[in-house]
Structure 1
């Protein structure tokens, strides 16, 4: 059963790397939640920033640093785990996964390109599998997002560009 659409008041932004998150933290004047206030499991390296901007409550989460390697915990597993936990505990109305198209440069994508999707397909890209068994999900499209965000259509109807 699908949830009823209502006004958006809580936004969850998920980003894999601190370097990508820092500009948004500053732009929205977000503050890092102290460990004792965090809803994250004790010992999890995840980072949680929160605050308000133009009437919206914004939560920004990232998987944090790998304790062994000392680098950002990028990749599908760390981001999926922090995203899943954040959805369950923070209960956002809208989820924005930012910084996920770095591999699309060869296809003509650039920084500031925005991809709006109405379908999700997942498979482990290192394992060749037939298209017929790829996990595929459709979900509600966000009507009006292109005009609300003042996006321009690009060469692909999925790719929009934000101009600052």
Structure 2
């Protein structure tokens, strides 16, 4: 038993040191390159053709330094058969796992777009930081498995950052479909979600598994409980909302620079 206690003390000591030293390495996981490119340009990052990822995967890695921070942005890239962005939980999970192992970040930030609910106060162009994350399409109606399916997790808490930048906060619900079935809607309501995406809760799962703090920054492209079809509204607003996301993420990174995790 003694070695186990010793390891616990060692782990706690390492965590304490991590909390008290300035953040130096941020990993962004971004589903679509359209969402990522404004930040790539803002931070003057370069694409790395040899990131050490498995041969043949379409994942795209941008890297560089901005102020006192090492920045890595990783996108799942284009589907090798169909040429569309590899959105959804499976690609996000794989990319997050491989990227955390490869780049050993102090902090993971999942930045991207999301649908929002006007009934919960969301409007087109709003940028939210997620407080909690859960799934809405993993229905396992067996005791305890049902809780596993929802997979509720809390994002890394940043009260000082939220107050300083006056950012909105909401719960995020994740599923692998852009539309919303009646069953999904019931679970989203149960999750008390303000925003809905296709990656966040999966990234939260991997970050929690590997014990890396994670933030989730989402800009609203479409109003799910509005009158316009979701796909149409998403495509119509993607460019303008991505610009709002770029501005908010830049403010967040500027605030993080020079601070340790415990100061956020």
Q: TM-score, normalised by structure 2?
A: 0.51
Report how far residue 96 of structure 1 moved.
0.6
Which of 146, 157, 163 lines up with 1:141 in the alignment?
Answer: 157
Given the alignment of the two structures, is residue 125 of structure 1 paired with residue 125 of structure 2, yes or no? no
Taking the aligned partners of 1:30 and 1:112, their CA distance within structure 2 comes to 26
Question: Quick one: higher RCO (CA 8 Å, sep 6+), 1 or 2?
Answer: 2
* CA separation of 1:7 and 1:19: change in aligned 2, threshold 3 A: same
Give secondary structure in 1 for the equivalent of 2:36. helix
2:128 is aligned to 114
- 1:151 and 2:152 equivalent? no
Displacement after TM superposition at 1:112 (Å): 5.0
Cα RMSD for the two superposed structures: 3.0
2:47 paired residue among 32, 38, 42: 32
- Corresponding residue of 2:63: 50
> Matched residue pairs, number?
156
Task: Report the 3-state secondary structure (helix = DSSP H, G, I; strand = E; otherwise coil) of the residue aligned with 1:60.
Answer: strand
Give the gaps of 5 or more residues in structure 1. none
User: How high is the TM-score relative to the length of structure 1?
Assistant: 0.79
More helix by share: 2
Cα pair distance change 1:112/1:32, threshold 3 Å: farther
Shift of 1:151: 2.0
Who wins on radius of gyration, i.e. which is larger? 2
Return closer, same or farther for 1:142/1:152 CA change in 2, 3 Å cut-off. closer
Residue 138 of structure 1: how far off its partner (Å): 4.1
Deviates more, 1:79-88 or 1:2-11: 2-11
Q: Name which of structure 1's ranges 3-12 and 60-69 shifts more when overlaid on structure 2.
A: 3-12
Q: CA deviation at 1:88?
A: 1.3
- Check 1:29–1:105 CA distance in 2 against 1; reply closer, same or farther (3 A cut): farther
Distance in 1, Cα, partners of 2:90 & 2:68: 32
Matched, 1:80 2:93: yes
